Structure 1
Amino acid sequence: MFGIYLKRELGRRKKAALVIALGLALGIALVITVNSVSAGMTQAQDKVLKSLYGLGTDMTVTKARTAPTSGSSGGPNFKFDAKSSSSSTQSSDRVQTQGGQALKSSLVTKVAGQKGVESAVGALSLNVTKVDGSFTQGKAKSSTSSSGSSGQGGPGGGSSSSGGAPQVQGGGANFNVNSYSVVGVDVAHQGLGPLSTMKVTSGKTFTTAQTGSKVAVVSKSYAKEKKYKVGSTFKISGTKFTVIGIATPDSSESDTDVFVPLKVAQTLGDAKNQVTTIYVKATDSKQISTVKKEITANISGTTVTTSADLASTVSGSLSTASSLATSVGKWLSIAVLAAAFLVAALLTSSAVSRRVREFGTLKALGWPSRNVTRQVVGESIVNGLIGGALGIALGVGAAYAVTAISPKLTAQLGNTGGGGVGGGPGGGGPGRQASQNTLEIALSAPVSLTTIALAVGLAVTGGLIAGAMGGWRASRMRPADALRSVS
């Protein structure tokens, strides 16, 4: 009986029900859209942080580089042999560590033994500056001038001649400078650290047996620049390397050009048993700040950088949009949702006022107040569910539109200590760092099941609020009110 009457009454008041449902739908749709965009912002920030860290890395341990000593510039210097030939080709590599002061490899084991640390891996960041070109020897030419005069009235005549100073003409030097980054990775633990954000798309990655092998994995962009492919060879400071794999970053652009085994990198950089960065994975993500304090207290002189520290250095349109989505967007959605609930409640209450004869007659026929209240609440919940369905459709459509358009957001990355971005192995040498500090991220708006469940909950809540107000008013009506409304 209740269901039949409910269906009939909703059918009689289609327009009123649709107005209430649409009001709720707009509020629910805005909540879904804001939540989806916020989730997309979080994913975008995660991509940025993963490009700085390795996948699964919770923090890095580095040590700030000390100031150069007096009389030492700390900059690269090159020495070339002087040769007698008129044109001589010269080439020299300058390999130096970057990303902070070198740490002893034994610290990796010490960090791994700290409370709350699941695993730790060391990496060595190097910058290679290659200078090659040729000197051209100039030619010396001399000029001679002479003049003669005879003096009179003196002790006799005389003549004199003088030769001009030699002048060098022609000659000079023409050199090219190429700077790129090299990172030594622990081939036995590639799941944590700089190589974990890379996917080998051609060739293969390192094996545990290649600890001391002269092999390399190069980034896709660097391979394209140098026209490298699997099997190509190149030299670093006279050491010949073979390319065994070409890797593409999982997100954004990698700021590392060449990956080599850690022991080989230590030999290249004259940094035996040293690393520049220690990548740390915590046993529990909720204890990251505690683990940071533990490492800082027990290992003096080091800088521990967490993902939260890196997130604070991300600026640009990504940061601005994220702030809007988390603050303005959420407050706006709450305000609109509250307004939608209020409007639905007022409309329901107004509809009850226009049904005085109906409810008064029902009470006169023997309906108790609880049945009248149940009737109003039932109609309101149905209106809320209809509004929820419309709101979900509108919200999912808006989120899909954002994903389809994929607006581009920029993320500018600041330095939190060390030489690379975020204290990691980044870098890439002079002239490359500025461009790589700005990443471009495509925004998406994923809709989760949690968001859908939230929308359904809001729809039911809106219906209950509207029904409660209308039902309270209907329950207070007396049968005599129906007689007064009869003309």
Structure 2
Amino acid sequence: MFFTYLRRELRRRRKAALVVASGLALGIALVIVVDSVSAGMGKAQDKVLQSLYGLGTDMTVTKAASPTASASQRPRFQFDARDDGSDEEQSSDRVMVRGFQTLSTATVTRVGQQSGVADAVGGLSLQVVKVSGQFTRGRFQQDSSGGGPGTRGQQPGGEVQGGGAEFDVNNYAVYGTDVTEPALGPLTSSKITSGRTFRTSETDAKVAVADSAYAKEKSLKTGSTVTIKGVEFSVIGIATADSGDAAADLYIPLTQAQTLADAKDKVTTVYVKATDSQKIDSVKAAIQKNVSGTTVTTSADLADTVSGSLSTASSLAAGVGRWLSVVVLAAAFLVAGLLTSSAVSRRVREFGTLKALGWRSGRVTRQVVGEALANGLLGGALGIALGLAGAYAVTAVSPTLQAQLGGGTAGGGMSGPGGLGGPARQAAARTLDVTLTAPVSLTTVALAVGLAVAGGLVAGAFGGWRASRLRPADALRRVE
């Protein structure tokens, strides 16, 4: 009886039911789109952070002191100006630790022993400045108007023309990776697209993996050789960053990097993986307490340095978008409730007759709530369809957002290729392009269903309260 009467009433008042369902559908669809876009923002930001951290890395540990370059640490180059008539090309390499701040490899062991740490591995970030060029001797050009060989007491006139020096500066980043721990570190955020990665046995081998962008610039391929400070390294693989810029132009074994930089048993960054992602904060606190002189940076800390259109859109989705969703939902619920209450007021005679026939107030209320709940479920179905369509449209368009990484010291010199001092800061503040998607999760769909039910109950509460107050005698005296 209940469902038969419910079906007939909804069919008879389908226009009113459609209006109520449409209002709820718009609110629910907006919630789905905002929630999906927010999830897409999170995934996009994760891609940006992975380009700095590397997959599987939960936090990094660096030296607490701010990077400062003393006069003795600044790059110095010395060339000979030969006077043998030759214009031989000269070059000189300087390999320096990026940021000039290092930790002992013993720190890696201490960090790995902390409670909640699953694995810890050290890395050494280097900056190589190569200056190459040549000196050219000038040529003395005699002035034709000056005195000739027959002129006594006069020096031949003329001037030196040409000559000078022309040098080129090649500045690139090298990262020393612990090849025995391939699952951690910045190289994990790149995919080997040619050749292979390091073998765990190549701890002291003269091999290198080149970033694809740098390899293209320098015409490198698998089997090519690169020279760093007079040491030749064989390129065994080409790596392409999953998103944004790579952490370095060249990756070499950690031992080789320490030798080139004269930094034996030193690292610039310790990459840490926690046993439980829910305990990252407690692991961070433990490391800061037990390993003095270090700074621990988590992905949440690093996320604060991300700016640009990605950050703006994320703030909009998380702040304005969600508040807008709440306001629209509240308005939709209120309108649905008012429309249901108004419909009850137009059915006074109907409900009065039902009460006169023996229907109790509770049964009338349940009937009104049932109709409102059906309207809510219909609105939920429409809202889910609209929300999925909106999320699909965002994913299909795939707008490109820009993420600018702030120039802080978080990450311990993990920024991409750059120079020293100012140039390194510019590298840390590089801009990455990230494609936005709007994935819809089952949780979001479940939330939409819950909102549909809630909307129906809110509307039913309005109408049911109004219907329960009707008395048969008063209702029968009223005429629609």
TM-score under structure 1 length normalisation: 0.91
Instruction: Quote how far apart the aligned CAs of 1:409 are.
Output: 1.6
Which residue among 443, 453, 457 is the counterpart of 1:460?
453
Q: Secondary structure, in 3 states, of the residue corresponding to 2:315? A: helix
Helix, strand or coil at the partner of 1:110:
helix
**AA aligned opposite 2:170:** N
Q: Deviations over 1:381-416 (max 9, x none)?
A: 110000001111111111111111122221111133
In the TM superposition, residue 429 of structure 1 has moved relative to its aligned partner by: 2.5
Report the 3-state secondary structure (helix = DSSP H, G, I; strand = E; otherwise coil) of the residue aligned with 1:231: coil
1:176-215 to 2 correspondence within 5 Å?
176-215=168-207
Whole-angstrom CA distance in 2 between matches of 1:415 and 1:25: 44
Note if contact 1:309-1:416 (Cα within 8 Å) is conserved in structure 2: no
State whether residues 356 and 477 of structure 1, in contact with CA within 8 Å, keep that contact through their aligned partners in structure 2. yes
Structure exhibiting the larger radius of gyration computed from Cα positions: 1
Partner of 1:327: 319
8 Å CA contact 2:209–2:252 kept in 1: the answer is yes
Amino acid at match of 1:168: V
- Residue 372 of structure 1 aligns with which residue? 364
User: Could you give the per-residue CA deviations for residues 284-342 of structure 1, whole angstroms, max 9, x where no partner exists?
Assistant: 33333333232223333222222222111111121121111111111111011011001
Aligned to 2:88, what secondary structure does the other structure show? strand
* Aligned-pair CA distance for 1:258: 0.6
Note if 1:115 corresponds to 2:79. no
Give distance in 1, aligned partners of 2:136 and 2:17. Answer: 90
Does structure 1 residue 98 correspond to structure 2 residue 80? no
For residues 100 and 91 of structure 2, the distance between their equivalents in structure 1, rounded to whole angstroms, comes to 27
2:74 is matched with which residue?
75
Return 43-52 or 454-463, whichever deviates more: 43-52
Aligned-pair identity in percent equals 64
1:87 aligned counterpart, secondary structure: coil
Partner of 1:44: 44
Task: Give 1:167 deviation, angstroms.
Answer: 4.8
Q: Which amino acid in structure 1 is aligned with residue 318 of structure 2? A: T
Tell me if structure 2 keeps the 8 A contact 1:377–1:463: yes
Q: Which residue of 2 aligns with 1:128?
A: 128
Report the alpha carbon displacement of residue 86 of structure 1 after superposing the two structures with TM. Answer: 2.6
Aligned residues of 2:147 and 2:157 also touching (Cα < 8 A): no
Who is 1:469 aligned against?
462
Instruction: Provide the rounded CA distance (Å) in 1 between the counterparts of 2:323 and 2:363.
Output: 38
Could you state the TM-score of these two structures normalised by the residue count of structure 2?
0.92
The residue number in structure 1 matching 2:138 is 138
Aligned mates of 2:322, 2:69 — CA distance in 1: 50
Letter in 2 for 1:411: A
Q: Does 1:288 align with 2:277?
A: no
Give the counterpart of 2:348 among 332, 341, 356. Answer: 356
Matched, 1:450 2:443: yes
Deviation per CA, 1:328-372: give whole Å up to 9, x if none: 111111011011001101100110111112111111111222221
CA distance in 1, matches of 2:35, 2:9: 35
Matched to 2:298, the amino acid is T
CA RMSD of aligned residues (A): 2.3
Query: How far apart in 1 are the matches of 2:460 and 2:361?
Result: 14
Measured after TM superposition, the shift of residue 19 of structure 1 is 0.3
| Match runs of 1:50-449 below 5 Å | 50-63=50-63, 64=65, 67-69=68-70, 72=71, 74-83=73-82, 84-140=84-140, 161=153, 163=155, 167-417=159-409, 422-430=411-419, 434=426, 437-449=430-442
User: What is the distance in 1 between the residues matched to 2:219 and 2:441?
Assistant: 43
Q: In structure 1, how many angstroms separate the alpha carbons of the residues matched to 2:149 and 2:451? A: 110
Q: Is the 8 A contact 2:85 2:137 kept in 1?
A: yes
Mapped contact 2:98–2:413 kept (Cα < 8 A): no
**Please, which moves more after superposition, 451-460 or 218-227?**
218-227
Q: CA deviation at 1:447?
A: 0.8
Q: Give structure 2 stretches of 5+ with no counterpart.
A: none
Closer/same/farther in 2, CA of residues 482 and 289 from structure 1, 3 Å limit: closer
CA distance, structure 2, for counterparts of residue 112 and residue 21 of structure 1: 57
Question: 8 Å contact 1:310–1:416 — kept in the other structure?
Answer: no
Count of residues in Structure 1 that have an aligned counterpart in Structure 2: 472
Kept in 2: contact 1:415–1:423 (CA 8 A): no
Amino acid at match of 1:426: S
**Aligned twin of 1:154:** none
